[in-house]
């Protein structure tokens, strides 16, 4: 009789539900994509000493990232004490991308031509 009780207790313990383990945090592929230049928060910083008002730096950066492109439009924006250049480009497949550059340091170093 005692053995039956012990066996029953073991069987019940084996059937007891366990606490589920927390699922590991799943990271989507979209979260792993490089987002540099996609928003004001991730704007690409133009070096303070970039020549040609930073335009060459911007063009080289966009070419390295996207390949061939055509500038469709651009504008200057500001947020708090920062200045940004917002550029919309078109790629050969006709898709459009907007790229954000933080031009604050370059802007502050600008000197008028003599």
User: What pTM, to 2 d.p., does this model score?
Assistant: 0.68
- Report the percent of the chain where pLDDT is more than 70: 76
The percent of residues above 90 in pLDDT, for the chain, comes to 50
108-113, long-range: CB < 8 A, 24+ apart: 108/48, 109/48, 109/49, 110/53
DSSP assignment, residue 72? E
CA distance 11 to 77: 70
Task: List the chain domain ranges.
Answer: 38-114
* SS3 of the chain: helix, strand, coil, percent, to 5: 35, 25, 40
Written as six digits, the tokens of 26 are 């799943």
Q: Residue 43: what pLDDT?
A: 94
Does 19 have pLDDT greater than 70?
Answer: no
């Amino acid at each position: 009789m005692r053995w039956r009780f012990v066996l029953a207790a073991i069987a019940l313990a084996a059937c007891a539900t366990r606490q589920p383990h927390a699922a590991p945090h799943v990271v989507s592929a979209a979260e792993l994509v490089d987002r540099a230049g996609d928003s004001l928060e991730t704007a690409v910083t133009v070096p303070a000493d970039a020549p040609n008002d930073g335009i060459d730096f911007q063009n080289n950066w966009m070419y390295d990232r996207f390949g061939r492109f055509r500038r469709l439009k651009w504008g200057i924006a500001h947020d708090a004490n920062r200045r940004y250049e917002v550029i919309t480009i078109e790629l050969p497949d006709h898709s459009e991308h907007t790229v954000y550059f933080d031009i604050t340091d370059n802007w502050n170093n600008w000197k008028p031509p003599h």
